Copies of this chain bind each other. A is one copy, B any other.
């Protein structure tokens, strides 16, 4: 869609589409989209419709509320436009976008909405949708991500999911799933609702569970304030704590490399591969979370997570032809575990809680990334605890058995120590995947004995043979085979159909239970991707392309 790279780092003073205000314990995010402020040319963001740029700001704002505002307990999302809450994703943008852009855009939108639910569930920041005008399509889907939906009862405002009748696509950013699985709207009513472009308003919306309450305009402001205060009362957020400012993220970026302080990536376009190195902490952790809070955004676990997060988003959006990501780590595994232990021991601390959940969300972003993930575990690496999750998230891992021939123990060469991985308490704890299980549980799904055997070795540095025996890594080649095996694995990956790989990975990565989140990424998104790719939606005569032209779509009527 655009040759310019999309930038995910934004600064609040440059927000175009959102205004924040804070009257603690309640913050308000006002969506007031700048029609002319689209991320790329070619469309106007009318009626509070959104594109990726609007969503990037929302993501940023949600993150800031969690870290910079420990005093905020309720976040009200509302509209700055009269009579319209949000009209959803901009249709002209969607119609003009390539298939891959649409899919990536929807994925990010889903992640941001899941993040809103995570703030409500894990952070004591409850989101309230103050739907002060019509919310249609993605606009209603945004409201659905909030814990409580208030709809103004004024005989014109309604909530709707008009994607199917108007555009021939699905309410695919969580809408269908949240309607039946979160809000428990009865399926036949949900069906009717999704075929009714004008939507449902007032008391009927409440009766059908599409909204939690319908409030007449005269009592609107007062009732929203009342409800926001009530929701705030449920929160365990601290009183009087100072926030941690998410200072601008330092980054250098050119065609071949992306560098941050703790994370670096080399982009190999010929090989279709990115080599990513994550560096462990350069020093021991602070004594306690008070000191850690003093470190602010420099606190290693937060800093490295922010960098990883930005890197994933950058590569996913801007480097679609680099299909394999190879992860390495460098540093002292003991220090990684020490940082992990500080966080785990401080679960009551709001900042430790935020860092852990942010790391959880970032690793989940990796899980749903449509790239092959390979972990390469070499001497000098620090795949321990939280950083071991990178290897557990990978589709395959390679750990060197022994050392490289060239390593010289006499010079104190760190590569003279065999590569090891170390399971920590964090690997059996809070860093759950979308399916509700840890990566370790998912790995050993149906193999309780294997899971227990691995768990017993927590804290032990496991060299390749042990790690392979325990089932924690895939392959353990020695120096003689090492380069060749990794070369073959990455070259082979680059030779396969990118689509088939995406499908394979999306199925294998989520063994075991399904949750609303995995349903959204697995079932709903997969169907939406299929529909986006079909002529009935995206062909020249398809509904998405013909919307607004006055011409009806022409459908191939065959049911598939």
Enumerate chain A interface residues (CB-CB to B < 8 A).
Answer: 99-100, 103-104, 163-165, 167-170, 172, 176-177, 179-181, 184, 186-192, 194-195, 272, 320-323, 370-371, 394-397, 442-447, 471, 473-474, 492-494, 496-514, 518-519, 522-524, 526-531, 533-534, 536-537, 542-543, 553, 555-560
List chain B residues, Cβ under 8 A from A502: 527, 559-560
* Cβ-closest chain B residue relative to A187: B508
Report the nearest B residue to A543, measured CB to CB: B497
Query: Could you show 21 A-B contacts with beta carbons less than 8 Å apart?
Result: A100-B560, A164-B504, A165-B492, A167-B500, A168-B500, A170-B500, A179-B508, A180-B507, A181-B446, A181-B512, A186-B471, A191-B505, A194-B508, A195-B493, A321-B557, A498-B556, A499-B531, A500-B531, A502-B527, A503-B531, A522-B526
Q: Is the CB of A527 within 8 A of B524?
A: no
Q: Nearest CB to that of A542 among chain B residues?
A: B497
Most buried by B among A172, A188, A522: A188
Known contacts A170-B507, A557-B321; is-contact A530 B181 (Cβ 8 Å): no
Tell me which residues across on chain B come within 8 A of A442, comparing CB atoms. 187
* Residues in chain B near residue A498, CB distance under 8 A: 536, 555-560
Q: Which residues of B contact A526 (CB under 8 A)?
A: 522-523, 526-527, 529-530
CB nearest to A397 among chain B residues = B188
- What residues on B are CB-neighbors of A531 within 8 Å? 497, 499-500, 503
Q: Which of A186, A272, A397, A527 has most chain B Cβ within 10 Å?
A: A527
CA distance A394 to B191 in the complex (A): 10
* Known pairs A445-B181, A533-B534, A536-B498; A187 contacts B511 (CB<8 A): yes
Tell me whether A188 and B559 are in contact in the complex, defined as CB-CB below 8 angstroms, given that A170-B500, A507-B523 are known contacts: no
CA distance A511 to B188 in the complex (A): 12
In angstroms, Cα B528 to Cα A506, docked, is 11
**A442-B181 Cα distance, complex, nearest whole Å:** 10
Most B CB atoms within 10 A — which of A164, A530, A531, A537? A530
